Homo-oligomer: A and B are copies of this chain.
Amino acid sequence: MAQDSKPLITAREEKARSRLFRVEALDLTFSNGSTRTFERLCSTGNGAVMIVAMPDPDHVLLIREYAAGFEDYVLTLPKGAVDPGEDIITAANRELKEECGFGAHNIVPLTELSVAPNYMSHRISVVLATGLYEERLAGDEPEPIVTERYRMDELASLLSREDFHEGRAIAALFIARERMRDETMPLIW
């Protein structure tokens, strides 16, 4: 299968840069000889983490915050950038305290998701947080984030909401639900 050998990257050039974004062009020669120039967005920073935080075996915490990409409020999972020197678990616990006012005694990695691998290098670690306790840390949010509880068995009705559409968050919730059904790896509440 020709696909087994990756295309050769013959050139790599920065095409645009802003405070948050960096665009790179890759010149590629595929194993069948064809050539392409593909633009891609490079992630900057130390990665990101998304948290499925469950106060009990039936509920999950969702946040409602302003999303500048959509110029509107969206319902999604708490998430944020990993700070320099932080590991995923520490970052997840900090973000949960900043955005939802809860810490977690137990945080287990679930998976790593890509955003749009064809044109972005970004990936996000997804963790499952249980054993929640009240603790709020000051974050850099422009206004308080609203936290709401939803039933895990009402995912289907959540999906019909107009403000709930982030692919990564939907994937993370379904994956957490699968994980909870795995009786060989019981969760600690």
Residues of A within 8 A of B (CB): 1-3, 6-7, 9, 15-21, 23, 25-26, 28, 30-32, 34-36, 38-41, 64-74, 76, 111-124, 142-144, 146, 155-156, 159, 165-168, 170-172, 174-175, 178
Most buried by B among A31, A118, A122, A155: A118
A73 vs chain B, min Cβ distance (A): 6
A117 touches B175 (CB 8 A): no
By Cβ-Cβ distance, the 4 closest A-B pairs, closest first, are A167-B168, A38-B68, A170-B171, A67-B117
Given the interface pairs A15-B19, A39-B20, the reply to whether A167 lies near B171 with Cβ below 8 Å is yes
Given the interface pairs A32-B143, A117-B69, the reply to whether A21 lies near B3 with Cβ below 8 Å is no
B117 touches A74 (CB 8 A): yes
Q: How far is the CA of A16 from the CA of B122 in the complex (A)?
A: 19
B66 touches A6 (CB 8 A): yes
A30 touches B143 (CB 8 A): yes
A117 touches B40 (CB 8 A): no
A112 vs chain B, min Cβ distance (A): 6
Inside 8 A of A16's CB, which chain B residues have their CB? Answer: 16-18, 21, 23
Inside 8 A of A32's CB, which chain B residues have their CB? Answer: 142-143
A176 vs chain B, min Cβ distance (A): 11
Q: How far is the CA of A115 from the CA of B74 in the complex (A)?
A: 12
A20 vs chain B, min Cβ distance (A): 4
B30 touches A142 (CB 8 A): yes
B159 touches A178 (CB 8 A): yes
B41 touches A21 (CB 8 A): yes
Given the interface pairs A18-B16, A21-B21, A156-B178, the reply to whether A69 lies near B114 with Cβ below 8 Å is yes
A166 touches B113 (CB 8 A): yes
Inside 8 A of A65's CB, which chain B residues have their CB? Answer: 3, 118
**Given A3-B146, A15-B18, 19 other A-B contacts at CB below 8 A?**
A3-B65, A19-B39, A28-B142, A31-B143, A34-B143, A67-B117, A67-B118, A69-B114, A69-B120, A70-B114, A114-B166, A114-B167, A115-B116, A115-B166, A116-B168, A159-B178, A167-B167, A167-B168, A167-B172
